A and B are shown apart, each in its own frame.
Chain A
Amino acid sequence: MAEAVIEVKNLSKKYGSFEALKNVDIKLEKGIYAFLGLNGAGKTTFINLLTDNISRTSGDIFYNGTEIKRLSGKYRKKIGYMPQEQGYYGDFTGREYLSYIAGLKGVKNKKNKVEELLSQFNLEDKADIKIKKYSGGMRQRIVLAQTMLDDPLIIILDEPTVGLDPLERRRFKNYIKEISKEKIVIYCTHIISDVTDLADRLVFMKNGELVRVCGIDEIIDEAECADKSLEMIVLSYIN
């Protein structure tokens, strides 16, 4: 599998006079990136720009050296995206929903892939029930499952573990670890334990700016040296 690299240069986004993102520069290579920041720090805006769901004010995003606007559909084919708000049709069944998204993604062997994901996300039994009758955790799983259709190289997850119970959360983290070997996983969250278990690198955001990008080990060392909890260290960067 070809290696994926995303380079973000001078990326900015303004909503009227409000600057949601300010001159962000970052290079993303294979591995799990945890984006940490308070509400309004610019995480979702960054993700929306990365998925080309909103227009940028300035800056460039390159995928393997080519501007993503030029790649258009070819770039989107590499992405698996789970938005912060659960997107689904309540009157579709789980199976139908995955099959619909698979159709939009142009997945070959659609049926096999959908069945495989239903099994992986433990939804086989409920696959023919309407999504509106699912519990919150099940809905989260089905939306997460659609992310993995077509085996994407870039996985973008905005608050993916919200609503999952501890067992589901552990299963999810294992799954992400397993599939992330050759992929870029961008992961926005508030839950610090998720980060320590999962992330290779941490990206701290504050007021639309990247405050620091570092490895998880560096933060753990910093916490030990300062004799502070990991949470306190994280908060010191984002607050």
Chain B
Amino acid sequence: MELKYILNKGVTAAFIVIFLANILLFCKGLTDSELACADENGYAYSDFVFYYNDCVEFLKSADNSELTEKINLYYRENVTDENKQSLLAVVKQLQAQADYVNSYASDIEWSVSQAETMISFNIYNDKSSYSYNNILKGRYDLKKLKDIDLSVTSNIAYDNIFGYRYAGYFIALIMIIFVSRFKADNHGFNAVIKAAYKGRGMLAAKRAGLTASAAIMATFFIYMPIVLISFARYGGTLDLNSLIQCNPLFSRSVLIISYAGLLGIIFLLHCAAAAAAGFIAWLFFLAFRDRHMAVMGIVIFSLLEGFFYLTKSGNIFFKFMRSVNIFCFLNPSGIFKKYDNWGFGQYIINTGLLSVIAIICIILFNLIVILCISSSLWSGIEVKSKVLSSAARKIRKNFAYIPNFFKELKKTLLLQKGLLVIAAALLYIVTADFGVAGRAENGQLEMAEYYSFAEGDAYRRTDEYVENTIKWIDEAKKTAAQLQEKGDLTGSNDLQNRIKEKESMLNKISEESDRVKQLNQRGITSAGILDTYKYEKRYGARMNTYYQNFVLAVFFVIIFLTCKTFSIERRSRMTSIIRTTDFGRGKYLRTRIFTGVMIVEAVVLFENIIQFIKVNNVFSLKDYERPLAVQSINCMENCPLSLSILQFEIVLIIYRMAVYGLTALFIIGLSMYLEESGVFFVSIVAFLPYILSSIGIKSFEKLSIVRLAAGVECFQSPGGIGEIIIFIAALSVLAAASVRMAVVKWQRQ
């Protein structure tokens, strides 16, 4: 019964969104790495995974001393012209793993002997000191690792599972939402229960049980999909019984356990961390009478914990605070990746163990305090400030008579929690790099000299540049020959290498030049040579993934901002009052819909500008100064529109703004009929093709509205433009129908 009350439609919808966000974030991270591999190394990651797992399987029968030989044999037996690159990468990766496995015992032995040597130093003479005892404990723990049997295992899935840091945060968010419902008004039902014999204690005990169950369920639904997706995508289940030390990630972990065992322990620790997060949040909700103050308290607590977690000081206090930190608990795999101790004098404890003990203590302590407070009559602290409330009243008085247009804005921003959504969205857009930032540096340098010379009017100055370079090569060849004659082989070799680089660059410039000439022959007279690397990346496959992530985030902002447009009138029971007024059926509707769309457009425009600046910081577009045709970019060669690059960027933004505006209109109309949970359900159905294609079912990609809204890919071919036209037309029809039906319902009821 209590659970039914807690899990209302809104909370269930929020949990579904969190569940999907977790899967999408994880899958997007994998996809981005795969695309990066294809981009930077020139082979499909799926090929790499296939040969990697196949080779690991092949190595199972081999003795550790034969690993290198077997890896080379596998390469020779399987190499073809098509798979050469991916197979070479597999060989490199597995050779590194084989070297690690073979040298593990000697590495440990070396560490143990290092510890013994250090003990003999004078500075560690004091046998009661922390340093001395820490080394002793290190030596003792590492000795346990000396005789373990390691093998080459398939690590990709495990690297991804143990490397994913966000599962704990999603679980914590679910727990905070869950316990916040304990504070929600339930029409006086809490008061009835509290007045009953033993009601308070029973209610608190029941809720504590529910929180613990919720922790297990949240962990199951957030953590398990990560494990399953990783195994489904990259294999590795055959190594579940192998020791975790087979993976270099856990080279110094003193817990001798299999992957399966570690997965189980991490699941349990996630559950414990979730319960701890839930109980801490619940304590805040009990300690403060006002829910907003409780949320503020949770935010301040999180900031403090974040500060301690990020402070990498060796100081005993900071080290302790880092080990007993909620952020440390929320990322339990991190506990096993390192070997570290904490303590003073002869009292030393492993930081991992300290964290585990701390979680248990925190859970018990919070539980006891919660039960005590809940069983008492105390109803929490009430924070009041006369100065602040007086100032607030003055401000409210001055703004009470602003026109209704601004009051509709206020309803969206404050009553519908729009400001919170905008702030969260901005924080997300500004901080999330979507896996794109800073990845272009090496490539950007490749032809930097040429682009820097040719900047401004590249095509005309190309001949001049080529001429100068050929002259330089001729001179350099002569100089190299002279240096060789003088016996300066190093100088000569260096110069020869520079000559090769220049010649290779000339080839590239020549290829580009030919391509531009072909474009000119097609009638695209304003085509020119561009910084290929930057532009191809900016509009290529990986950036398209980035744009889709961004568009998805924006879609969610729109949904959150508009889904309550009319449901808020129903909930505040204002419908009949507004409808009985003079302007309540015409002007009000127009203002309400207009302000909703206006806020959405303003927010998304601002976010698009931020996104543009972020992308520009990585792949700058200096060539905006030149009105070059968008077809100058290789991947945009088949774009049927006659546009310059700058015009293309503007068209792209206008197109997206139109899509966002129409989406906002559609959802505003929908809110006349549905509550938020209903709107979310419709949205999730609409995003289903995107979700399915993100988790690997690519046949749904064509139907993905996120792909269509991102647009870049569609603008790359005449067929794509057709898709865009159909998409905009369909969205317009849906938006118009939704708004029309809403208006009719409001006016006629």
Taken residue by residue from 370 to 399, chain B's Cβ proximity to chain A (1 for < 8 Å, 0 otherwise) reads as 000000000000000000000001101101
B246 to chain A, nearest CB (A): 58
Q: Which residues of A contact B401 (CB under 8 A)?
A: 95, 99, 110-111, 114
Mask for A63-95, Cβ within 8 A of B = 1, else 0?
A: 000000000110011010101011111111101
A-chain residues with CB within 8 Å of residue B580 when the two chains form the complex: 51-53, 76, 79, 81
* Binding stretch for chain B, among A6-14, A32-40, A100-108, A169-177: A100-108
CA distance A127 to B399 in the complex (A): 12
How far is B571's CA from A142's CA once the two chains are assembled, in angstroms?
18
Chain B residues contacting A114 (CB-CB under 8 Å) are 400-401
Cα–Cα, bound, A148→B586 (Å): 22
Q: Report yes or no: B576 in contact with A53, Cβ–Cβ below 8 A.
A: yes
Q: Does A128 contact B (CB under 8 A)?
A: yes
- Choose, from B22-30, B296-304, B407-415, B595-603, the stretch at the interface: B407-415
- Closest Cβ neighbor of A90 among chain B residues: B572
Asked if A89 and B393 make an inter-chain contact with CB atoms under 8 angstroms apart, the answer reads no
Distance from A105 Cβ to chain B, minimum over Cβ atoms (Å): 5
Give CA–CA (A127, B517) in the complex, Å.
74
Q: Which residues of chain A come closer than 8 Å to B575, judged between CB atoms? A: 87
Cβ of A146 within 8 Å of any chain B Cβ, yes or no, is yes
Report the separation of the CA atoms of residues A128 and B396 in the bound assembly, to the nearest whole angstrom. Answer: 6
Whole-angstrom distance between the Cβ of B403 and the nearest chain A Cβ: 7
Q: Given the complex, which residues of B lie within 8 Å of A99, measured CB to CB?
A: 400-401, 407
> Given the complex, which residues of A lie within 8 Å of B588, measured CB to CB?
104
Check A162 for interface membership: any CB of B closer than 8 A.
Answer: no
Q: Are A91 and B414 in contact (CB under 8 A)?
A: yes
Tell me the complex Cα distance, A100–B397, Å.
13
Tell me, yes or no, whether B187 is within 8 Å of chain A by CB: no
Once A76-B582, A110-B401 are accepted as A-B contacts, the answer to whether A87 and B415 lie under 8 Å apart by CB is no
CA distance A150 to B404 in the complex (A): 16
* Contact B581–A101 (Cβ < 8 Å): yes
Given A100-B407, A104-B588, residue A87 in contact with residue B397 (CB < 8 A): no
The residue among B400, B414, B415, B748 with the most chain A CB atoms within 10 A of its own CB is B400
Q: What residues of chain A lie closer than 8 Å to B415, measured between beta carbons?
A: 89-91
Instruction: Produce 1/0 per residue, B549-583, CB < 8 A to A.
Output: 00000000000000000000000111111111111
Complex: A79 Cα to B576 Cα, angstroms: 12
B400, B411, B572, B582: the one contacting A104 at CB < 8 Å is B582
Chain A residues with CB under 8 Å of B587's CB are: 104
Complex Cα–Cα for A105 and B580 (A)? 9
CB-based contact A96/B400 at 8 Å:
yes
A51 to B415, CA, bound (A): 27
Residue from B393, B396, B577 whose CB has the most chain A CB atoms within 10 Å: B577
| A191 neighbours in B (Cβ, 8 Å) | none
Q: Which residue of B lies closest to A129 (CB)?
A: B393
Given contacts A89-B411, A89-B415, contact A55 B585 (CB under 8 A): no
A54 within 8 A of B: yes
- In the bound complex, residues from chain B placing their C-beta under 8 Å from that of A110 are 401
B672 to chain A, nearest CB (A): 15
Q: Does B431 contact A (CB under 8 A)?
A: no
Cβ of A207 < 8 Å from any Cβ of B?
no
Cβ of A14 to closest chain B Cβ, rounded Å: 15
**B749→A104 contact, CB < 8 A:** no
Choose among A48, A51, A89 the residue with the greatest number of B CB atoms under 10 Å from its CB: A89
Q: Are B577 and A103 in contact (CB under 8 A)?
A: no
Any chain A CB within 8 A of the CB of B584? yes
Least Cβ–Cβ distance between A49 and chain B, in angstroms: 11
Residue of A nearest to B579 (CB): A53
**Cβ-defined contact, B577 with A105, below 8 A:** no
Decide: A105 near B576, CB < 8 A? Known: A96-B396, A96-B399, A99-B400. no
By a CB distance below 8 angstroms, the chain B residues around A106 are 582-583
Contact with B along A138-182 (1 / 0, CB 8 A): 000001001000100000000000000000000000000000000
Q: In whole angstroms, what is the CA distance A23 to B584 when docked? A: 29
**Is there an interface contact between A89 and B574, defined as CB atoms closer than 8 Å?**
yes
* Residues A95 and B400 in contact, CB atoms below 8 Å apart: yes
Q: Which chain A residues border B396 with CB–CB below 8 Å? A: 93, 95-96, 128
CA distance A100 to B586 in the complex (A): 15
Residues of B within 8 A of A91 (CB): 414-415
Contacts of B399 in A (CB 8 A): 96
Task: Give the residue of A72, A77, A81, A92 whose beta carbon is less than 8 angstroms from that of B577.
Answer: A81
In the complex, are the beta carbons of B577 and A101 less than 8 A apart?
yes
Contacting pair A73 B586 (CB below 8 A): yes
Q: Which residue of A lies closest to B568 (CB)?
A: A89
Q: Compute how far the CA of A83 lies from the CA of B570 in the bound complex, rounded to whole angstroms.
A: 13
Smallest CB separation, B366 vs chain A (Å) = 30
Residue of B nearest to A96 (CB): B400
Q: B581, A128: Cβ atoms under 8 Å?
A: no
Q: Which residue of the partner chain A has the closest CB to B392?
A: A128
Select A87's contact among B577, B585, B748, beta carbons within 8 Å: B577
CB within 8 Å of A: which B579-617 residues: 579-588
Contact B572 A87, beta carbon cutoff 8 Å:
yes
Is A87 in contact with B573, judged by CB distance below 8 angstroms?
yes
Q: Which residue from B393, B576, B578, B579 sits with its C-beta under 8 Å from A128?
A: B393
Once A83-B577, A104-B581 are accepted as A-B contacts, the answer to whether A95 and B393 lie under 8 Å apart by CB is no
Shortest Cβ gap from A140 to chain B (Å): 13
Expressed in whole angstroms, the minimum distance between the Cβ of A149 and any Cβ of chain B is 9
Q: Report the bound CA distance from A96 to B414 in whole Å.
A: 14
B400→A105 contact, CB < 8 A: no
A93 to B749, CA, bound (A): 29
Most buried by A among B415, B576, B579, B586: B576
A48 to B415, CA, bound (A): 27
Q: Which residues of A contact B573 (CB under 8 A)?
A: 83, 85-88
A89–B411 Cα gap in the complex (Å)? 9
Enumerate chain A residues within 8 angstroms of B393, measured Cβ to Cβ: 128-129
Cβ–Cβ contact B407 & A48, under 8 A = no
B699 to chain A minimum Cβ distance, whole angstroms, is 45
Q: How far is the CB of B89 from chain A (nearest CB, A)?
A: 58
A104-B583, A128-B393 are known contacts. Are A93 and B400 too (CB-CB below 8 A)? yes
In the complex, residue of chain A having the shortest beta-carbon distance to the beta carbon of B395: A128
Q: Are A103 and B414 in contact (CB under 8 A)?
A: no
Contacts of B576 in A (CB 8 A): 48, 51, 53, 81, 83, 87
Q: Which residue of A lies closest to B581 (CB)?
A: A104
Distance to closest chain B CB from A199 (angstroms): 22
A125 → chain B, closest Cβ, in Å? 10
Taking CB atoms, residues of chain B closer than 8 Å to A103 are 403-404, 407, 583
For A96, list chain B residues within 8 Å (CB): 396, 399-400, 407
Chain A residues near B577: list those with CB within 8 A. 81, 83, 87, 101, 143, 146
Q: How far is the CA of A223 from the CA of B583 in the complex (A)?
A: 46
Is B574's CB under 8 angstroms from A88's CB? yes
B703 CB to closest chain A CB (Å) equals 39
In this complex, what residue of B is CB-closest to A80? B580
Which residues does chain A contribute within 8 Å of B578, judged by CB atoms?
A: 104
Please give, as numbers and ranges, the residues of chain A lying within 8 Å of B584 by CB-CB distance. 76, 104
Closest chain-A Cβ to B745's Cβ sits at a distance in Å of 11
Given A83-B573, A129-B393, A146-B577, residue A73 in contact with residue B400 (CB < 8 A): no
- Shortest CB-to-CB span from B387 to chain A, Å, is 15
Bound Cα distance from A79 to B141, whole angstroms? 84
B407 touches A88 (CB 8 A): no
**Shortest CB–CB separation between residue A124 and chain B, in angstroms?**
11
Q: Please indicate the chain B residues that have their CB under 8 angstroms from the CB of A95 in the complex.
A: 396-397, 400-401
In the complex formed, the residue of B with least CB distance to A89 is B572
Residues of B near A129 (CB, < 8 A) are 393
Query: Given A55-B749, A96-B399, A127-B397, are A105 and B583 also a contact pair (CB < 8 Å)?
Result: yes
A–B Cβ pairs within 8 angstroms, 9 of them: A76-B580, A76-B585, A81-B577, A88-B572, A90-B415, A96-B396, A100-B407, A103-B583, A105-B583
Besides A52-B579, A89-B572, A111-B401, 16 other A-B contacts (C-beta < 8 A): A51-B576, A53-B749, A55-B748, A73-B586, A76-B582, A81-B576, A83-B576, A87-B577, A90-B415, A92-B407, A103-B407, A103-B583, A104-B404, A104-B578, A104-B587, A105-B581
